[in-house]
Amino acid sequence: MWTTELIVIAAMVAFNSVFAGYEIALASVGVGRLHALVEDGRRGAAAALRMKQRIEASLAVVQLGITLVGAVAAATGGAGAEEAIAPTLREWGFSDGASQILAIMIVVAPLTFFTIILGELVPKVFALRNKEWVCLRLSPPMEWFSYSVWPAVWLLETSVTWIMA
């Protein structure tokens, strides 16, 4: 798995970190504080307030983003494992089935570790410590993303509302 695959996987972990951090930041900043930031004219505050006022849709946006980038990372890693690692394992005497399983494990274990650390925990801790900064910076692009995927967001939000009713 190599240069292209690693770049794609690193980009997906980075995108995951943006979504994960934003989720925590948006949940952590109070509506009253966002109103005050809007009144102060802080850049990004109006978008943050709109996202906070539609928290169910905002959470759907975040989960959609996390799921999409996770799927791309997994597919890329799986393809890279099959193309690059499995043949080497077969050359070392492993059967086809064992080579495929081991190749996937060789990719999945570090991918999982780095996704949890760099794509989830570090950005969430950073967002907790810098909630306003993260929320104000990321709300405008998240709002744009929510508009670009609105049919999926509508379906997810409607489904959650129906289940919770």
How far apart are alpha carbons 74 and 1 in whole angstroms?
12
**Between 99 and 46, residue with greater pLDDT:** 46
Mean pLDDT of 124-152: 97
Largest Cα span, the chain: 68
pLDDT of residue 162: 94
Amino acid at 13: V
Sign of CA dihedral 157, 20, 121, 27: negative
pLDDT of residue 77: 84
30-44, 80-94, 108-122, 144-158: lowest mean pLDDT where? Answer: 80-94
At residue 1 the predicted structure's pLDDT band, cuts being 50, 70 and 90, is very low
pTM for the model stands at: 0.88
pLDDT of residue 7: 94
Mean pLDDT of 105-115: 90
pLDDT of residue 41: 98
pLDDT of residue 116: 96
Q: Could you read off the pLDDT of 41-83 as tens digits, one per residue?
A: 999 999 999 999 999 999 999 999 999 999 999 888 878 777 7
How far apart are alpha carbons 80 and 74 in whole angstroms?
10
